[in-house]
Amino acid sequence: MLALGKLLELTLAGREPAEKTQLTVDGVRMRWLGEGALEVRPPDALDNGLDLLLSAGIHGNETAPIELLDRLLHDIARGDLKPRARILFLFGNPDAIRRGERYIEQDVNRLFNGRHDQTSGPEALRACELERLAATFFSVPDRTRLHYDLHTAIRGSKIEQFALYPYKEGRQHSRRELARLSAAGMEAVLLQSKVSITFTAYTYEQLGAEAFTLELGKARPFGENGAVNVDRLETRLKQIIDGTEPEPPEALDGLKLFSVAREIIKHSEHFRLNLPADVENFSELEPGYLLAEDIADTRWIVEEQGARIIFPNPKVKNGLRAGILIVPANPEQLG
């Protein structure tokens, strides 16, 4: 197997490869772009016009997605998977991956869309670098752009595998892309309704990609991901890569759609989230429930019918969201 197919090994060791460019026996070009970054380019005659960005390890302790990308790269390097798309593989936060921690100083996935310019430190620099790599990769005109940013969650979930679909004013969410997600094993999709500071928000809003944050299960250390079943996603990614993907069905049968009702923002160290520490994502909340409290008599009371909570985390830094209140969405609003 080509050495560049061992991107994860290089990243974990903090090493640069001796050769920055290698060719497979099928003429697939693999090019090392920097730490945790590898471009894969098929022969021109086989290129189907898709630019696919696959990222994982934005949070260093979310290892199942990292292992998934590692398997895909191994298959390409051995010639078992023959790409027809250009692919950029990114391991988002190498320092955190090596330490097995979510992040070192700052959450990288809250530093995009200009947010990294407002702070400093290695993770701000890394977010800037990830934006540069993505912008360069998606700079070729007249090509289809797709980005999947793969994650696992810090807590359990009543809906284990789900996606977040970013928002841009004037741009509709795609029914076809939602059907593709359903075929890849996603059980639910959160349709976001405001601009954000995540990696996929940047590639969706600024670079014109169809972009999705995928949550695949619960975060576990390397080698302990047997309970995270990514078989359907892995099969679909291989089909996207080698150009054998079946056309997604028209119907979205079984796919649950949600929209954001409100974000719960932590303003101070007096913030209190009135939920058990082990509450699961997508837990239902009754109208009238006092969800959270903060300074100046700030209170979040559940008013919405069918409300659920995702990503509750009272330990975030002041000014960041400590949870998202979501409600069922109307599929008739899709493009």
Catalytic annotation, residues: 215
3-state secondary structure of 29: strand
Task: Say how far apart CA 50 and CA 24 lie, in whole Å.
Answer: 20
Task: Say how far apart CA 112 and CA 74 lie, in whole Å.
Answer: 29
Per the annotation, does 151 bind a ligand? yes
- Answer left, alpha or beta for residue 317, where phi above 0 means left and psi between -120 and 50 means alpha: beta
Q: Where are the beta strands (DSSP E) in the chain?
A: 21-23, 29-34, 37-41, 50-56, 86-91, 144-153, 162-165, 188-191, 210-218, 256-265, 272-273, 283-284, 290-294, 298-301, 308-310, 321-328
Per the annotation, does 304 bind a ligand? no
Per the annotation, does 39 bind a ligand? no
Task: Say how far apart CA 70 and CA 273 lie, in whole Å.
Answer: 37
**298, 275, 297: which is closest to 285 by C-alpha?**
275
Sequence-ordered list of residues with C-beta below 8 angstroms from that of 143, at least 6 positions apart, any chain: 49, 50, 51, 86
In the structure encoding, which two tokens stand for residue 246, read together? 């079946």
Annotated binding site for Zn(2+): 59, 62, 151
